[in-house]
Chain A
Amino acid sequence: MIAFIVRRLLLLIVTLLVTSALIFSLTQLLPGDVARLILGREATPERVAAFNRQYGLDLPPLEQYTRWLGNFIRGDWGRSFAAGNAAVRPIVLERLNNSLLLAGVTLAISVPVAIFLGVIAALRAGTWLDGLISVATLSVVGLPEFVTGLVLINVFALGLGWFEATALIRPGYTLGQWVRVLGLPALTASFVLIGYITRLTRAGTLEELNKPYVRTAILKGLPRRIVIVRHVLRNALLPTITVIAISIGWLIGGMVVIESIYNYPGVGGELVRAVEQKNLPMLQAITMIVVLAFALANLTADVLYTLLNPRIRFR
Chain B
Amino acid sequence: MAAPAASPEARRSPLAVLQRRWWGFWRFWRRLVRQPLAFAATLIVLFFMMISIVGHWIAPYPYDAVQPDPDRCVARGEAVRCAALSNAPPSLAHPFGTDRNGRDVLSRLLYGARYTIGLPLVATLLSVALGTGLGLLIGYTGGAVDEVISRFIDILLSIPAIILALVSLSTVVPTLAASQNPLVQSIGPINIALVLVIVLLYTPIVARVIRAATLGLRDRGYVELAKLRGESTLYILLREIFPGVVPALAVEGALRFSYAIFLVASLGFLGLGAQPPIPEWGRMVLDARPTLTAAPWALWFPVGAIALLVISVNLMADGLQRLYQENER
* Most central of A31, A254, A271 by chain B CB within 10 Å: A31
B residues within 8 A CB of A260? 269-270
Given A30-B175, A31-B174, A146-B282, answer yes or no on A275-B169 (Cβ-Cβ < 8 Å). yes
Give A221-274 interface residues, CB cut-off 8 Å to B: 249-250, 253-254, 256-257, 260, 271-272
CB neighbors of A among B265-302 (8 A): 265-266, 269-272, 282, 285, 289, 292, 299
Supposing A30-B174, A139-B314, A291-B160 touch, asked if A275 and B269 sit within 8 A by C-beta, the answer is: no
At the interface, yes or no: A19 with Cβ under 8 Å from chain B?
yes
Docked-complex contact A151 and B303, CB < 8 angstroms: yes
A144 with B311: in contact, given A290-B160, A294-B158 (CB under 8 Å)? Answer: no
CA–CA, A166 and B124, complex, Å: 35
- Asked whether any CB of chain A lies closer than 8 Å to the CB of B91, the reply is no
Q: Which residues of A contact B (CB under 8 A)?
A: 14-15, 18-19, 22-23, 26-27, 29-32, 37, 135, 138-139, 141-147, 150-151, 154, 158, 249-250, 253-254, 256-257, 260, 271-272, 275-276, 278, 283, 287, 290-291, 294-295, 298
Given contacts A142-B313, A144-B282, contact A294 B160 (CB under 8 A): yes
Q: Which residue on chain A has the smallest CB distance to residue B304?
A: A147
A271 CA to B270 CA, complexed, in Å: 11
With A144-B262, A144-B269 known as contacts, the answer to whether A135 contacts B175 (CB < 8 A) is no
B199 part of interface (Cβ distance < 8 Å): no
- Residues of A contacting B163 with CB < 8 Å? 253, 256, 271, 287, 290-291
- Residues in chain B near residue A290, CB distance under 8 A: 160, 163
Q: How far is the CA of A135 from the CA of B37 in the complex (A)?
A: 9
Residue of A nearest to B259 (CB): A142
B contacts, CB < 8 Å to A: 37, 155, 158-160, 162-163, 166-172, 174-175, 178, 258, 262, 265-266, 269-272, 282, 285, 289, 292, 299, 303, 306-307, 310-311, 313-315, 318
Contact of B299 among A139, A143, A150, A254 (CB under 8 A): A150
Cα–Cα, bound, A291→B315 (Å): 31
* B303–A147 touching, CB < 8 Å: yes
Q: Closest residue of chain A to B309, judged by CB?
A: A142
Which among B266, B272, B311 is the interface contact of A276 at CB below 8 angstroms?
B272
A-side contacts of B175, CB under 8 Å: 29-31
Which residue from B158, B167, B303, B311 sits with its C-beta under 8 Å from A150?
A: B303
Closest 5 CB pairs of A and B: A253-B160, A142-B314, A31-B178, A275-B170, A139-B311
A287–B167 touching, CB < 8 Å: yes
Contact of B155 among A14, A146, A154 (CB under 8 A): A14
| B202: min CB distance to chain A, Å | 15
Given known pairs A29-B175, A275-B272, the reply for A253 and B162 (CB within 8 Å) is yes
Contact between chains at A271 and B166 (CB < 8 Å): yes
Contact A257 B266 (CB under 8 A): yes
CA distance A250 to B163 in the complex (A): 11
Which chain B residues border A30 with CB–CB below 8 Å? Answer: 171, 174-175
Q: Which residues of A contact B171 (CB under 8 A)?
A: 26-27, 29-30
Q: Give the docked Cα–Cα distance between A298 and B155 (Å).
A: 12
A143 touches B174 (CB 8 A): no
* Chain A positions within 8 Å of B269 at CB level: 144, 146, 257, 260
In the bound complex, CA of A18 to CA of B155 (Å) = 8
Q: Report yes or no: B162 in contact with A254, Cβ–Cβ below 8 A.
A: yes
Cβ B155 vs Cβ A19 within 8 A: yes
B224: min CB distance to chain A, Å: 30
Interface pair A145/B310, CB less than 8 Å apart: no
In the bound complex, residues from chain A placing their C-beta under 8 Å from that of B166 are 256, 271-272, 275
**Are A256's CB and B37's CB within 8 A?**
no
Chain B residues whose C-beta falls within 8 Å of the C-beta of A295 in the assembled complex: 158
Instruction: Pick the residue among A14, A18, A256 that contacts B162 (CB under 8 A).
Output: A256
Structural contact, A257 and B270, CB atoms closer than 8 A: yes
- Closest residue of B by beta carbon distance from A30: B171
Given the known A-B contacts A138-B318, A272-B270, are A291 and B262 also in contact in the complex, defined by CB atoms under 8 Å? no
| A contact residues around B159 at 8 Å (CB) | 19, 22, 287, 291, 294
Q: How far is the CB of A237 from chain B (nearest CB, A)?
A: 23
Q: How far, in whole Å, are A110 and B167 apart by their CA atoms in the complex?
A: 30
Expressed in whole angstroms, the minimum distance between the Cβ of A4 and any Cβ of chain B is: 16
Q: What is the bound-complex CA distance between A150 and B284, given in angstroms? A: 13
* Contact B178 A32, beta carbon cutoff 8 Å: yes
Distance in angstroms from B59 CB to nearest chain A CB is 23
Residues of B within 8 A of A141 (CB): 314
- Report how far A254 CA is from B266 CA in the complex, Å: 11
Residue of B166, B271, B292 with highest tally of chain A CB at under 10 A: B166
Taken together as a complex, chains A and B put the C-alpha atoms of A62 and B266 apart, in Å, by 34
Known: A142-B258, A253-B163. 11 other contacts (CB 8 A): A31-B175, A32-B174, A138-B314, A139-B314, A144-B269, A144-B310, A254-B160, A257-B162, A275-B167, A278-B170, A291-B160
